[in-house]
């Protein structure tokens, strides 16, 4: 989810508040495919990723592109409205009942050095690493990926060298939405969910992106690890109900002390 948020901000310079809705939708589609058609949840992303990419590409072409030159508050309100529409559609289609995927894989554990670990959590972590590697290779080793990076750095200069900036922005937005849906599909293996599923996770993803750096996908990955470790160790010294507080405290501290995030701070130190 955070990878997609960072990618969309880097290329389009907008904050995608609708990410929470697409994360929630990814979880529900995974559950629906499993309960209605018997499709294994591990196979659901094969349908979710391309479908969400096309939906995101169409959303950018029809709505988002119309407000790119406007004040930032306009795009914020637009995408917040999209989130509310998706959330209420979920209430209409699936009601507000809590859903979860129940199958042997979800409850499986494996012993590693005498310590029991949940297999779904290991799988989700592996998929997160795979998504990072694939996205980084795409952005650095392909022509389209380099065009996305060029557009993120300087839109006008990208146009001057022949890059179809409008097409690139549509593709980048589609990839960002696909990543949010992919994240929701994976998280459906770990948590139960309702139409309000993405709200808290969306706030955490903002914290991760700011912590890692707005212009670095690898930095976002390190930001995610740093936040997860802070939460994991923090609950040892405070009630579990205050776990989300850690994310917001980290966000405030980082905005004040490390406004460029981990990646930007490390680059500044190397230049220094």
Q: Which long-range contacts (CB under 8 A, 24 or more apart) does 80-84 make?
A: 80/17, 80/18, 82/17, 82/18, 82/21, 83/17, 83/18, 83/19, 83/20, 83/21, 83/198, 84/21
Could you give the count of Cα atoms lying within 13 Å of 88 in the half-sphere of its Cβ? 6
254 has pLDDT over 80: no
Among 247, 246, 173, smallest CA distance to 210 is for 247
Contacts of 99 (CB under 8 A, 6+ apart): 27, 28, 31, 192, 193, 194
Give the chain's mean pLDDT: 89
The pTM for the full model equals: 0.91
pLDDT single digits (tens) 2-33: 999 999 998 999 999 999 999 999 999 999 99
Write down the pLDDT at residue 255: 76
Please say whether the beta carbons of 77 and 70 come within 8 A: no
pLDDT single digits (tens) 44-98: 999 999 999 999 999 999 999 999 888 889 999 999 999 999 999 999 999 999 9
Q: List, in sequence order, every residue forming a beta bridge with 110; answer none if it has no partner.
A: 117
149 has pLDDT over 90: yes
Write down the pLDDT at residue 239: 75
């Amino acid at each position: 989810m955070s990878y997609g948020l960072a990618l969309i901000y880097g290329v389009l310079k907008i904050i995608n508040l609708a990410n929470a809705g697409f994360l929630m939708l990814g979880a529900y589609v995974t559950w629906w495919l499993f309960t209605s058609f018997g499709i294994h949840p591990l196979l659901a992303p094969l349908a979710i990723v391309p479908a969400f990419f096309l939906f995101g590409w169409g959303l950018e072409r029809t709505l988002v592109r119309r407000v790119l030159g406007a004040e930032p508050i306009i795009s914020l309100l637009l995408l917040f409205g999209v989130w509310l529409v998706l959330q209420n559609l979920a209430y209409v289609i699936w009601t507000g009942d809590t859903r979860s995927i129940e199958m042997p894989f979800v409850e499986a554990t494996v012993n590693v050095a005498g310590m029991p670990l949940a297999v779904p959590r290991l799988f989700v972590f592996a998929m997160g690493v795979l998504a990072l590697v694939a996205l980084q290779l795409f952005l650095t080793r392909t022509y389209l990926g380099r065009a996305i990076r060029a557009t993120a750095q300087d839109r006008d200069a990208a146009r001057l060298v022949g890059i179809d900036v409008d097409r690139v922005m549509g593709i980048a937005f589609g990839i960002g939405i696909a990543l949010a849906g992919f994240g929701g599909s994976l998280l459906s293996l770990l948590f139960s969910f309702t139409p309000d599923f993405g709200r808290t996770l969306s706030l955490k993803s903002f914290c991760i992106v700011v912590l890692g750096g707005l212009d670095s996908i690898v930095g976002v990955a390190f930001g995610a690890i740093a936040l997860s470790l802070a939460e994991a160790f923090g609950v040892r010294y405070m009630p579990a109900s205050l776990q989300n507080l850690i994310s917001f405290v980290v966000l405030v501290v980082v905005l004040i002390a490390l406004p460029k995030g981990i990646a930007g701070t490390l680059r500044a130190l190397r230049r220094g």
